[in-house]
Amino acid sequence: MTLALHGIGVSRGFALGRVHLLTRGKPEVIEYAIPRPYVAEEVERFQNAVAEAKAQLKAVRARIPDNVPADIASFIDTHLLMLEDSSLTVAPTTLIRERQCNAEWALKTQRDRLIRVFDAMNDPYLRTRRDDVDHVVDRILRVLLSADDEAASTQGDGRLEGRVIVADDLTPADTVLMQHQGITAFVTEHGGPLSHTAILARNLRIPAVVGIRNARSSLRDDETVIVDGEQGVVLTAEDDLVVAHYRHRQRAKRQERALLGKLKTAPAVTRDGVRVALHANIELPNETHQAMEGGATGVGLYRTEFLYMNRFDAPEEEEQLECYRQVVGALDGHTVTIRTLDLGADKQVDGGGGTGPIATNPALGLRAIRLCLHDLALFRPQLRAIMRASALGPVRMMIPMLSSLHEVRQVLRLVEETKQALRDEGHAFDPRMPVGGMVEVPAAAVSARLFSRLLGFLSIGTNDLIQYTLAIDRIDEQVNYLYDPLHPAVLQLIFSTIQAGQQQGIPVSMCGEMAGDPRYARLLLGLELTEFSMHPSAILEIKKIIRDSHAGELRDLARRVLNCTDPDEFPELMSLLAH
């Protein structure tokens, strides 16, 4: 009998292999007092542990080949940077001195403070960065407690070759190490599609399923399983027919990947001549190389939040300008769309607290453009930096979480004021730089026709639009099963936004995860979306679907989907759209 365990598929593909149960648990931390004469020694013990954690991560990074995408190494670099941050290196030593407590307890206390700030963040992607805090703290604790690191201890001994790792959770460093040891897939009890480990699995093309709460108790060490990263299911391989089916799918996938590489320079044009722009989503300047290597025609979403995090003060105008200059230069004439700050009032994650009390429901609170309009001292330097960057190449500025025409007018007035100030100071900028808005609040989608009269472009942020429309938090494991990009209300909002742009003659793009998901590409083409922005690794697969499609035929099918009132007919229509 075949056992099926269902979770969240975060890296597409299939794998067949024997289970390796990773039984490493969380380090147990207890508090005990340090006599005053020994406090300095305890501080030194903590500092030595941080140094050892850095050395371990640097050793992992050194094993990453030079020819892999830059953002794979950047995950390890992120953890190394966190080990330089005062919130994890200075704050615990202060606690040791003030409370005369042991290093482990001081670190745990500081970790809890940071996690509370991350948990209060409104952006699902940024909230999952709490995992990075956990991973870095866990590594320091293991050094302090002299705990074994199984992932590191098996390095090079061949024990993980062809294995399916089943664990509570994995760090990016674990994932990189295990990939070098030849693992075929991994399954975790925790995690979500936005965690660094999940993103890394997609980049490394390791099939992965996360969020299977009983995985370690349900699967036996050394038994053979099938990991289906597309369906988010793990199957025990006891049925020969099931095994044969997946082996056939594996061979087909390998052939498909080989063919995709040939499409890098091919245009994204449908069989009936509709040209589609395929842009990349990035968050660090060094990711532009991967975007262009992946065949992107520009950057449709440059997240700027990491300029503001893990620090006490906001970045100065010149610091921001330098980052934007790097991106514009690397794109060599292709357009970059820079999104203005999309954090809440809790933006400072440095252990010093935010700008005010944590909101009861931060997703509905003072965040994104609301925060920027509330705190112009925060917003003006970014406006100036983005506009000055526009003198260096094609730049668009995108405003997140717009919900009213009043906000749009406020932003445009500030843009005009900034232009005048830059003229007076003699700074160069593009006076025609497009200013657009993200449609991620249902009110913005309903008002898209009004917004399009004032803005230069619209971009649909499906991640937030779906969860706001359906009133669910997609990283809450108790309700994320309700997260449905195909919900009729969501599709109607997407279509009405696209229509609003067409009627006003302005571009409409989509930069949420839905844009990079092959399951929805034909439907979106049928809804007349012609500008997609996604993770660079998804571009070639979406391009192939576009080149194999006839947009006119898809438009007819998409209208039938929008007008479908029979739940039994819907799967059949989606099946027609998928082929």
More confident residue, 253 or 403: 403
Domain count, the chain: 3
Residue with tokens 């953002």: 71
pTM assigned to the model:
0.72
Asked if residue 176 is part of any domain, the answer here is yes
Asked if residue 249 is part of any domain, the answer here is no
Residue 127's pLDDT is: 67
Asked if residue 495 is part of any domain, the answer here is yes
User: DSSP string spanning 229-252?
Assistant: TTTTEEEE---HHHHHHHHHHHHH
Alpha-carbon dihedral sign for residues 533, 539, 542, 547? positive
Residue 204's pLDDT is: 79
Do the strands 14-22 and 298-302 form a parallel or antiparallel pair, or are they unpaired?
unpaired
Mean pLDDT of the chain: 87
Q: Is 418 helix (H, G, I), strand (E, B) or coil?
A: helix
CATH, residue 17: 3.50.30.10
Strand partners, 299: 280, 336
Q: Which pair of tokens denotes residue 156?
A: 């090079």
CATH, residue 481: 3.20.20.60
Statement: residue 353 has pLDDT above 50: no
Strand partners, 21: 166
Last residue of a domain, one of 217, 239, 261: 239
Q: How many CB atoms lie within 10 A of CB 468?
A: 22
Q: What range defines the domain where residue 195 resides?
A: 4-24+150-239
Q: Which residues contact 63 (CB under 8 A, 6 or more apart)?
A: 176, 177, 180
- State the Cα–Cα distance between residues 5 and 209, nearest whole angstrom: 10
Rounded to an integer, the average pLDDT of 466-473 is 88
* pLDDT bucket at 173, cuts 50 / 70 / 90: confident
pLDDT tens per residue across span 425-452: 999 999 999 999 999 999 999 999 999 9
- State the Cα–Cα distance between residues 32 and 104, nearest whole angstrom: 9
Residue 126's pLDDT is: 65
Q: Which residues contact 544 (CB under 8 A, 6 or more apart)?
A: 259, 260, 263
Statement: residue 486 has pLDDT above 70: yes
Residue 151's pLDDT is: 53
Residue 123's pLDDT is: 63
Do the beta carbons of residue 576 and residue 557 sit within 8 Å? yes
135 and 159 part of one domain: no
Q: Which pair of tokens denotes residue 277?
A: 């722009």
- State the Cα–Cα distance between residues 79 and 57, nearest whole angstrom: 8
Task: Fill in the DSSP letter of residue 340.
Answer: P
Residue 40's pLDDT is: 96
More confident residue, 236 or 261: 236
- State the Cα–Cα distance between residues 469 and 279, nearest whole angstrom: 25
Q: Which of 196, 279, 334, 535 is catalytic?
A: 196
Asked if residue 256 is part of any domain, the answer here is no
- State the Cα–Cα distance between residues 287 and 70, nearest whole angstrom: 6
Counting DSSP H helices and E strands in the chain, the numbers are 25, 16
Last residue of a domain, one of 239, 262, 294: 239
Q: Is 496 helix (H, G, I), strand (E, B) or coil?
A: helix
179 and 122 part of one domain: no
Q: What distances in angstroms separate CA 278 from CA 12, 267, 469, 538, 579, one per listed residue?
A: 20, 10, 26, 10, 21
Residue 348's pLDDT is: 41
180 and 85 part of one domain: no
More confident residue, 332 or 419: 419
Residue 260's pLDDT is: 84
Asked if residue 205 is part of any domain, the answer here is yes
The backbone torsions φ and ψ at residue 228, rounded to the nearest 5 degrees and listed phi first, read: -110, 100
Alpha-carbon dihedral sign for residues 91, 96, 101, 103? positive
More confident residue, 112 or 76: 112
Question: Catalytic residue at 511?
Answer: yes
More confident residue, 395 or 355: 395
Question: Of 167-181, 330-344, 459-473, 520-534, where does the model show the most confidence?
Answer: 520-534
392 and 522 part of one domain: yes
Q: How many CB atoms lie within 10 A of CB 559?
A: 13
Asked if residue 364 is part of any domain, the answer here is yes
169 and 217 part of one domain: yes
Statement: residue 68 has pLDDT above 60: no
pLDDT tens per residue across span 28-64: 888 999 999 999 999 999 999 999 999 998 888 887 7
344 and 221 part of one domain: no
- State the Cα–Cα distance between residues 502 and 13, nearest whole angstrom: 36
Residue 398: which of 512, 267, 275 has the closest Cα?
512
CA dihedral (506, 512, 517, 519) in degrees, to 10, reads -70
Residue 553's pLDDT is: 93
Asked if residue 252 is part of any domain, the answer here is no
The full 3-state SS of 167-205, as one line of letters, equals ECCCCHHHHHHHHHCCCCEEEECCCCCCCHHHHHHHHHC
Statement: residue 69 has pLDDT above 70: no
The backbone torsions φ and ψ at residue 208, rounded to the nearest 5 degrees and listed phi first, read: -150, 140
Q: Which of 101, 323, 372, 511 is catalytic?
A: 511
- State the Cα–Cα distance between residues 490 and 512, nearest whole angstrom: 13
460 and 520 part of one domain: yes
Last residue of a domain, one of 107, 126, 144: 144
82 and 176 part of one domain: no
The full 3-state SS of 420-453, as one line of letters, equals HHHHHHCCCCCCCCCEEEEECCHHHHHCHHHHHC
Strand partners, 435: 397
CATH, residue 125: 1.10.274.10
Q: Which pair of tokens denotes residue 28?
A: 């147990």
Residue 515: which of 539, 551, 484, 487 has the closest Cα?
539
Element containing residue 226 per DSSP (H, E):
strand 224-228
223 and 343 part of one domain: no
Q: Which pair of tokens denotes residue 487?
A: 């919900």
312 and 174 part of one domain: no
Question: Catalytic residue at 372?
Answer: no
pLDDT tens per residue across span 501-511: 999 999 999 99
What percent of the chain clears pLDDT 70, i.e. is strictly above it? 89
17 and 114 part of one domain: no
Alpha-carbon dihedral sign for residues 183, 187, 190, 194? positive
pLDDT tens per residue across span 100-154: 999 999 999 999 988 887 776 666 666 667 778 888 999 999 899 886 555 555 5
Residue 338's pLDDT is: 98
pLDDT tens per residue across span 288-303: 888 888 889 999 999 9
Asked if residue 265 is part of any domain, the answer here is no
More confident residue, 349 or 215: 215
Residue 543: which of 314, 280, 218, 321 has the closest Cα?
280
- State the Cα–Cα distance between residues 398 and 511, nearest whole angstrom: 11
51 and 175 part of one domain: no
Rounded to an integer, the average pLDDT of 89-101 is 94
Residue 210's pLDDT is: 92
